[in-house]
């Protein structure tokens, strides 16, 4: 198992947990941390993770954003490289072959919010604060926020959040559809662990196909998306899990997934 200075990757059964671990910087994402996340996602996949949890170390932050001290003096080409790295990490979360849950345990600003947007599900603590705050730094979201946020919360709310750079509490984020659930701070770990364990017990190929099909809904015309869904759906026939799931139902017994 690899070791990194700025993140941790741990496993509990089929559930991998990736913790951004720079609490003295409120888990802000510098280049080293983004590269480590990329490596850890590859490792979690190789180790056969059936669900992945993304969270932040310490009491205060999920991820307080891109690293402002690194960004301040970047030239345009350097900024482009940083944007590409952030995009790559967000894409890898979005395309990770198993479901990814963002456990938002505090501040999720700028790039932190964008990483959460690239996850499949978002659970926040009551005292989490979330926002695309880049406008007040003289920039805009650069790791996918302008594209993923409106899909989740609708165009008007996304414009408000990005134009005003407002920092909203978890309850408002839930009302906007930006997070799926809000839980008490001391319940986050257990609740997310339970969700992840439930997902890890589902048939992995079918879950992967479901994620791919849902991702397509945002990337293509409905006609092409429907064609893609048909292909994924029929591709599951003949797999162990399809035969087993249907057989178990008909035999009135619990299925045993691959």
Q: Which is nearer to ligand COA, 17 or 133 (CB)?
A: 133
Q: Which is nearer to ligand COA, 14 or 65 (CB)?
A: 65
Can you tell me which of 56, 134, 205, 257 binds ligand COA, judged by CB under 6 A? 134
The C-alpha R_g of the chain, in whole angstroms, comes to: 19
Residue 64 binding ligand COA, by CB under 6 A: yes
CA–CA distance, 201 with 117 (Å, rounded to integer): 24
- Look at residues 38, 48, 59, 63 and name the one whose alpha carbon lies nearest to residue 16: 48
CA–CA distance, 258 with 216 (Å, rounded to integer): 25
Region of 106-114, 172-180, 198-206, 238-246 interacting with ligand COA (CB under 6 A): 106-114
What is the 8-class DSSP label of residue 152? H
Q: Cα–Cα distances in Å, from 81 out to 37, 77, 91? A: 16, 6, 15
Q: Which residues contact 234 (CB under 8 A, 6 or more apart)?
A: none
The residue assigned the tokens 């979005």 is: 94
Residue 90 binding ligand COA, by CB under 6 A: no
Residue 65 binding ligand COA, by CB under 6 A: yes
Residue 25 binding ligand COA, by CB under 6 A: yes
CA–CA distance, 122 with 110 (Å, rounded to integer): 16
Residue 107 binding ligand COA, by CB under 6 A: yes
Two tokens at 33?
């941390």
Active-site annotation holds for 3: no
Can you tell me which of 1, 3, 46, 69 binds ligand COA, judged by CB under 6 A? 69
Active-site annotation holds for 134: yes
Residue 62 binding ligand COA, by CB under 6 A: no
Residue 241 binding ligand COA, by CB under 6 A: no
Q: Residues 35, 39, 59, 114: which is the catalytic one?
A: 114
CA–CA distance, 31 with 37 (Å, rounded to integer): 10
Region of 60-68, 89-97, 202-210, 248-256 interacting with ligand COA (CB under 6 A): 60-68
Residue 162 binding ligand COA, by CB under 6 A: no
Region of 24-32, 51-59, 144-152, 189-197 interacting with ligand COA (CB under 6 A): 24-32
**What totals of helices (H) and strands (E) does the chain contain, helices first?**
11, 10
Q: Residues 35, 38, 43, 134: which is the catalytic one?
A: 134
CA–CA distance, 181 with 123 (Å, rounded to integer): 5
**In angstroms, what is the minimal distance from the CB of 137 to ligand COA?**
6
Q: Which residues contact 240 (CB under 8 A, 6 or more apart)?
A: 257, 258
Q: Which is nearer to ligand COA, 14 or 110 (CB)?
A: 110
Catalytic residue ranges: 114, 134
Query: By the criterion CB under 6 A, which residues form the site for ligand COA?
Result: 25-26, 28, 64-69, 107, 109-111, 133-134, 137
């Amino acid at each position: 198992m690899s070791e990194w200075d700025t993140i941790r990757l741990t496993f509990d059964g089929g559930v991998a947990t990736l913790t951004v671990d720079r609490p003295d910087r409120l888990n802000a994402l510098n280049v080293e941390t983004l590269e480590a996340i990329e490596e850890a996602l590859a490792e979690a996949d190789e180790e056969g993770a059936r669900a992945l949890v993304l969270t932040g170390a310490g009491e205060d932050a999920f991820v307080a954003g891109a690293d402002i001290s690194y960004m301040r003096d970047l030239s345009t080409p350097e900024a482009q490289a940083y944007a590409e790295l952030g995009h790559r990490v967000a894409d890898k979360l979005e395309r990770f072959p198993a479901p990814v849950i963002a456990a938002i345990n505090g501040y999720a600003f700028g790039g932190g919010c964008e990483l959460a947007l690239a996850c499949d599900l978002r659970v926040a603590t009551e005292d989490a604060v979330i926002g695309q705050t880049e406008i007040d730094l003289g920039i805009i979201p650069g790791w996918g926020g302008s594209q993923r946020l409106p899909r989740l919360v609708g165009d008007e709310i996304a414009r408000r959040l990005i134009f005003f750079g407002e920092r909203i509490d978890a309850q408002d984020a839930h009302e906007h559809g930006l997070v799926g659930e809000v839980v008490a701070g001391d319940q986050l770990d257990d609740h997310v662990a339970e969700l992840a364990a439930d997902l890890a017990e589902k048939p992995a190929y079918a879950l992967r196909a479901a994620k791919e099909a849902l991702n397509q809904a945002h990337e293509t015309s409905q006609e092409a998306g429907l064609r893609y869904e048909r292909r994924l759906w029929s591709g599951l026939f003949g797999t162990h899990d399809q035969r087993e799931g249907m057989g178990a139902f008909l035999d009135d017994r619990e299925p045993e997934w691959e």
